[in-house]
């Protein structure tokens, strides 16, 4: 059985895993993204992390990397990475291949990679056409049409997080991690009753998820509002692609039970029965390992 390495470059962490061809995660490590960004030399530090990993895994000859932003059409260079600007406009594959000449590297947008990973490793029969939305530090999207990743005209389709939301901001600015914290802070200032969120010195997305599960009214209101905005973004995507199979992934998807009601309000309001009656929205199955497994799945069409 072959083994691959999947690397998920995220706004919070860089996660690296050893994955076999059946999608078993054999080994995993992570490094704080902020640590690699110190001093503005992210790429150099990232290459050092890769070097340490490959030295420990000499059998790995294929590495897939998911990056949080746009990449070149030939899938060799980064273009724009809003959450890690130091990694923008870097000939990443060239640099990796020069340093590690016996290893093959493949890069893809992280959400598109997660969509591929869901296809290969979810353990369920996937439809021929679907799109996946990731809810995390940012909001990402990846579509599979006719069992192939939909890349658009210049290779970077499905940037759902950067479409304009109803409030004049992007979807990511509104319901990405920073947006959720901003929303929670504003709601908390207006809330006159009890909220466990007042007990935290710092609110983040994990705190919000835990509070919502514990029936905190402010946290649940945050996710309800998030659902309304997410639903609006899904409406636009559904109408443009005419795809009715949707998977929701990413860390914040753990609060989906509180996101779904607001999401359905938007979907019902703006979709006609042709679209709404055939909608099939499910949670993605790969959970927190979606980034690593999706990145590893990039290696599949390049098996030796």
Mind listing the pLDDT tens digit for each residue in 150-173?
Answer: 999 999 999 999 999 878 899 999
Q: Can you give the pLDDT at residue 301? A: 62
Average pLDDT of the residues of the chain: 93
> How far, in Å, CA of 181 to CA of 160, rounded?
20
Q: Which residues, at least 6 apart from 101, have a Cβ–Cβ distance to it below 8 Å? A: none
Q: pLDDT tens across 3-53, in order?
A: 999 999 988 899 999 999 999 999 999 999 999 999 989 999 999 999 999
- Calculate mean pLDDT across residues 108-122: 92
Per the CATH hierarchy, to which homologous superfamily does domain 128-284 belong?
Answer: ATPase, nucleotide binding domain (3.30.420.40)
Q: Can you give the pLDDT at residue 304? A: 38
The yes-or-no verdict on residue 300 having pLDDT over 60 is yes
Domain with CATH 3.30.420.40 in the chain: 3-117+289-302, 128-284
User: 3-117+289-302, what's its fold?
Assistant: Nucleotidyltransferase; domain 5 (3.30.420)
Q: Can you give the pLDDT at residue 214? A: 94
């Amino acid at each position: 059985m072959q083994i691959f390495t999947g690397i998920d470059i995220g706004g919070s962490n860089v996660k690296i895993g050893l994955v076999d061809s059946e999608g078993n995660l054999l080994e995993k490590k992570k490094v704080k993204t902020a640590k690699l960004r110190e001093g503005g030399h992210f790429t150099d530090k990232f290459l050092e992390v890769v070097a340490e990993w490959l030295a420990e895994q000499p059998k790995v000859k294929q590495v897939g990397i998911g990056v949080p932003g746009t990449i070149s059409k030939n899938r060799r260079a980064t273009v724009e990475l809003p959450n890690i600007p130091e990694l923008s406009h870097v000939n990443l594959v060239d640099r990796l291949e020069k340093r590690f000449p016996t290893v093959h590297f493949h890069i893809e947008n992280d959400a598109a990679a997660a969509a591929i990973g869901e296809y290969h490793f979810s353990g369920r029969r996937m439809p021929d056409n679907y799109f996946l939305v990731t809810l995390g530090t940012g909001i990402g999207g990846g579509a599979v049409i006719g069992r192939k990743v939909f890349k658009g005209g210049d290779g970077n389709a499905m940037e759902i997080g950067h479409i304009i939301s109803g409030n004049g901001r992007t979807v990511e600015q509104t319901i990405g991690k920073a947006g959720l914290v901003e929303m929670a802070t504003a709601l908390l200032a207006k809330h006159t009753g009890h909220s466990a969120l007042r007990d935290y010195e710092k609110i983040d997305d994990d705190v919000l998820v835990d509070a919502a599960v514990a029936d905190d009214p402010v946290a649940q209101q945050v996710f309800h509002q998030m659902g309304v905005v997410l639903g609006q973004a899904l409406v636009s995507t559904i109408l443009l692609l005419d795809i009715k199979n949707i998977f929701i992934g990413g860390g914040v998807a753990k609060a989906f039970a509180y996101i779904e009601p607001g999401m359905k309000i938007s979907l019902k309001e703006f979709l006609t029965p042709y679209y709404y009656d055939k909608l099939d929205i499910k949670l993605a199955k790969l959970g927190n390992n979606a980034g690593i497994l999706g990145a590893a799945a990039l290696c599949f069409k390049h098996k030796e």
